[in-house]
Structure 1
Amino acid sequence: MKKIVISISDEQYEKMDAHIKKGSALNLNNETFSGYGLILNNAEGGFSWLEVDMYTNLDLGDVNWSIEES
């Protein structure tokens, strides 16, 4: 089995965590049970970025990622 590993900075993590908490609070207030998506984008030349999609799309910027053996 393979796994995808995405490395993010502490600042990116804090932004992602705040975005998800805000979306979760909206879910609670509106009595909905939606989730969120992580979108890993990769352009030719090795340029990669990560987005968090929950109500709005949060672009976390550049990330490093790899596919590894479990």
Structure 2
Amino acid sequence: MVNISPPADDRRIPALTSLTIRETDVVRLVGHGMSNAEIGGRLTISAGTVKTHLNRAMDQARRV
């Protein structure tokens, strides 16, 4: 099982500090190699909603 909690030492990536909790969860799970469908199943949201969260996260990262 993939841990989606923040790192224990609370290191933060500046581009991620303005993300919602759900967006952060999705980005972490992508980082662990999970597909949109797997993430959706894990978080009980649709794959389309996963894509929406990823797009919002990428938009914010581009602004940094």
TM-score under structure 2 normalisation? 0.24
Q: Which has the higher contact order (CA 8 A, sep 6+)?
A: 1
Higher helix share: 2
- Structure with greater Cα Rg: 1
Higher strand share: 1
TM-score under structure 1 normalisation? 0.23
